[in-house]
Amino acid sequence: MGNERNEYLELADWRRQVAALWEAWRRESVADPTAATARFRTAKDALFRDHPQSPLPAEERAGFAGIPYWPYDPAYRMTVRLQPPDGDGGPHGAGSSDADAVDDDGSVSALPAIALPSSGHGSIAFRRVGRVELSGPLVGHSLSVFWIEGYGGGLFLPFRDATSARETYGAGRYLLDTIKSADHGGAWHTNELVLDFNLSYHPSCAYDPRWSCPLAPPENRLSLPVRVGERVRG
């Protein structure tokens, strides 16, 4: 008695440890993002292998050799401004402008909820809260940023690129998911976000279909390859 599994405590511990990894990375990456990312990857591999709440199926954990990554490329670390969102249908759609729905004080409470694609049968409500113009190797491209409405709130930025279904998971990768602590940093008073594509990672559904994950909509699909961050083996 007393040693039986408690999955609620396990999940709380998983989230606690993941949050600590991201907090350490944000702090350390200011001075040396390459070293900070190497430490982050080593610690994440250990969690995936050893923690009972790992997204890996239990039978695969003992033989887990680590997540495959591309080498760190500092050109893919950038600071961007969160600009007002485009119209309801996204940059390729029609409809009234979401920017017109922003409150006079700059809040986004009036923005309409939308549903993103999902790997499962259910859906989670999101709000498109802005758009970021990318720089470096991705100059000329932009991505929408969403707010998770369905459970507790948080910034969410998924994307697909030309590596998807070839060198990375077919449904794309995540850049930000702040409710799960995947937060690169930023400054609210200047409307800025730090985006480091070297931290791009696969959603849990890439490892086990029992997970249901929101996915990148068409407006967040890049036409060029982004060969940094997590990749698939091969």
d(CA 113, CA 197): 27
Q: Is residue 170 scored above 90 in pLDDT?
A: yes
Q: pLDDT tens across 190-222, in order?
A: 999 999 999 999 999 999 888 888 889 999 999
Q: Is the pLDDT of residue 95 over 60?
A: no
* Overall pTM surpassing 0.75 (yes/no): yes
Query: What is the C-alpha to C-alpha distance for residues 13 and 3, in angstroms, rounded to an integer?
Result: 16
Residue 140: what pLDDT?
A: 98
Q: What percent of the chain has pLDDT over 90?
A: 73
Residue 14 near residue 53 (C-beta atoms within 8 A): yes
pLDDT in tens, 120-154: 666 678 999 999 999 999 999 999 999 998 667 89
